[in-house]
């Protein structure tokens, strides 16, 4: 039996890499125009999405968000941004530039864009604490890929937010125990890759080498979708939203239609046995689930 998510908080963060770069394994149209992005952002805001995820590395995404904020004076998004991979540690200038470009008074989160950058800057994280004290940054975090990195960050009391991939394949069988541990340690967990960059929307016959390698697991997802009569798109999003150890789920969209569809899709809490079927899928070669290794 299906029930609705009606009264629960819309725990979605809208990603913005799609606005600043040509991005995604299934994206043949490139990035949307600024006026289309403005429509997407306005719709997201009106629907109750409060937070955007962005990064210095996402082309002109900061300026695009700032442009939206300057035009929509009634309200602003909370914004999480990421320091670049190559970092000169002049955090002060960075933060001031980000606040100005994004047109926000403070950042909800300032993240290291990779575990490697975090390690390089580990000795200077105390400096970032100063921004927390002054109210310019609420939380410090790291964006990561692997379980071993997650394990290490769980131990670091200076890190508030951990952002990592999670989806129907990169699932509870791979990450469940560690997410539980991270929550017990008081971490804020944000996940991305709910749609595995759009891979879930590719045809199962597609010659793409990642689709070919993941074919048995993708077929299993199709079977489950058919059995429960729930579209893959809707299962993908709600599988992440239904995880109690995930605080917020990032999604990316290339156009307004996708956003509207996804907003409609959240009004469903999936049957427990469906979730258990997805939990049982186990991809052995986890490198296949890391878009950074796809090229």
Ligand X SMILES: NC(=O)c1ccc[n+]([C@@H]2O[C@H](COP(=O)([O-])OP(=O)(O)OC[C@H]3O[C@@H](n4cnc5c(N)ncnc54)[C@H](OP(=O)(O)O)[C@@H]3O)[C@@H](O)[C@H]2O)c1
Tokens (6 digits) for 3: 């029930």
Indicate which single residue of 31, 37, 53, 218 sits in contact with ligand X (rule: CB under 6 A): 53
Give yes or no for residue 16 binding ligand X (CB under 6 A).
Answer: yes
Upper half-sphere CA count for residue 138 (Cβ side, 13 Å): 13
Under 8 Å between Cβ of 262 and 253: yes
Distance CA 13, CA 151 (A): 24
For residue 282, the minimal CB distance to ligand X (Å) is 20
Q: Which stretch binds ligand X (CB under 6 A): 42-50, 119-127, 247-255, 274-282?
A: 247-255
Indicate which single residue of 250, 266, 274, 275 sits in contact with ligand X (rule: CB under 6 A): 250
Under 8 Å between Cβ of 191 and 150: no
Residue nearest to ligand X as judged by C-beta position: 15
Tokens (6 digits) for 244: 């109690």
Indicate which single residue of 45, 153, 172, 194 sits in contact with ligand X (rule: CB under 6 A): 194
For residue 133, the minimal CB distance to ligand X (Å) is 25
Indicate which single residue of 170, 254, 278, 289 sits in contact with ligand X (rule: CB under 6 A): 254
User: Of 46 and 134, which CB lies nearer to ligand X in the complex structure?
Assistant: 46
User: Of 162 and 184, which CB lies nearer to ligand X in the complex structure?
Assistant: 162
Indicate which single residue of 193, 217, 225, 243 sits in contact with ligand X (rule: CB under 6 A): 193
Identify residues 140-169 at the interface with ligand X (CB under 6 A). 143, 163
Give yes or no for residue 252 binding ligand X (CB under 6 A).
Answer: yes
SS3 content of the chain, % helix, strand, coil (to 5): 50, 15, 35
Give yes or no for residue 32 binding ligand X (CB under 6 A).
Answer: no
List the alpha helices (DSSP H) in 103-242.
115-121, 125-134, 147-154, 172-184, 209-213, 215-228, 232-241
- Say whether 141 sits in a helix, a strand or coil: strand
For residue 180, the minimal CB distance to ligand X (Å) is 22
Give yes or no for residue 81 binding ligand X (CB under 6 A).
Answer: no
Upper half-sphere CA count for residue 226 (Cβ side, 13 Å): 6
User: Of 1 and 266, which CB lies nearer to ligand X in the complex structure?
Assistant: 266
Indicate which single residue of 253, 274, 281, 289 sits in contact with ligand X (rule: CB under 6 A): 253
Give yes or no for residue 233 binding ligand X (CB under 6 A).
Answer: yes
Give yes or no for residue 192 binding ligand X (CB under 6 A).
Answer: yes
Q: DSSP letters along 59-101, please? A: TTHHHHHHHHHHH-TT---EEEEEE-SS--S-HHHHHHHHHHH
> Residues touching ligand X: how many (CB under 6 A)?
29
Give yes or no for residue 101 binding ligand X (CB under 6 A).
Answer: no
Closest CA to 252 of 49, 92, 46: 49
Residue 241 vs residues 79, 258, 265, 267, 289: alpha-carbon distances, Å? 20, 17, 11, 11, 19
Residue 3 vs residues 89, 264, 267: alpha-carbon distances, Å? 49, 14, 8
Give yes or no for residue 195 binding ligand X (CB under 6 A).
Answer: yes
Under 8 Å between Cβ of 290 and 236: no
Give yes or no for residue 183 binding ligand X (CB under 6 A).
Answer: no
Give yes or no for residue 198 binding ligand X (CB under 6 A).
Answer: yes
Give yes or no for residue 56 binding ligand X (CB under 6 A).
Answer: no
Summarize as ranges the residues that interact with ligand X (CB under 6 A): 15-18, 24, 26-27, 53, 82, 113, 143, 163, 192-198, 201, 233, 250-254, 258, 261-262
């Amino acid at each position: 039996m299906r029930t609705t998510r009606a009264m629960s908080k819309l725990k979605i963060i809208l990603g913005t890499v799609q606005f600043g770069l040509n991005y995604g394994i299934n994206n043949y149209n490139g990035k949307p125009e600024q006026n289309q992005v403005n429509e997407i952002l306005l719709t997201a805001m009106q629907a109750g999405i409060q937070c955007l995820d962005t990064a210095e590395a996402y082309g002109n995404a900061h300026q695009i968000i700032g442009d939206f904020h300057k035009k929509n004076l009634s309200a602003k998004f909370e914004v999480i941004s990421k320091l670049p991979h190559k970092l000169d540690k002049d955090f002060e200038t960075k933060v001031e530039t980000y606040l100005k470009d994004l047109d926000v008074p403070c950042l909800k989160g300032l993240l290291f864009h990779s575990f490697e950058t975090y390690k390089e800057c580990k000795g200077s994280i105390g400096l970032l604490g100063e921004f927390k004290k002054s109210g310019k940054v609420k939380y410090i975090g790291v964006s990561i890929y692997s379980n071993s990195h997650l394990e290490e960050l769980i131990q670091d009391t200076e890190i508030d937010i951990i952002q990592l991939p999670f989806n129907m394949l990169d699932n509870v069988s791979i990450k469940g125990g560690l997410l539980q541990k991270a929550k017990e340690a008081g971490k804020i967990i944000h996940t991305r890759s709910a749609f595995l960059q759009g891979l879930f929307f590719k045809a199962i016959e597609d010659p793409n080498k990642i689709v070919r390698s993941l074919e048995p697991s993708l077929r299993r997802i199709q079977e489950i979708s058919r059995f429960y009569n729930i579209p893959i798109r809707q299962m993908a999003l709600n599988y992440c939203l239904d995880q109690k150890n995930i605080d917020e789920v990032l999604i990316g969209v290339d156009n307004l239609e996708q956003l509207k569809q996804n907003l409609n899709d959240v009004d469903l809490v999936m049957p427990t046995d469906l979730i258990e079927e997805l939990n049982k899928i186990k991809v052995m070669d986890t490198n296949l689930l890391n878009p950074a290794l796809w090229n």
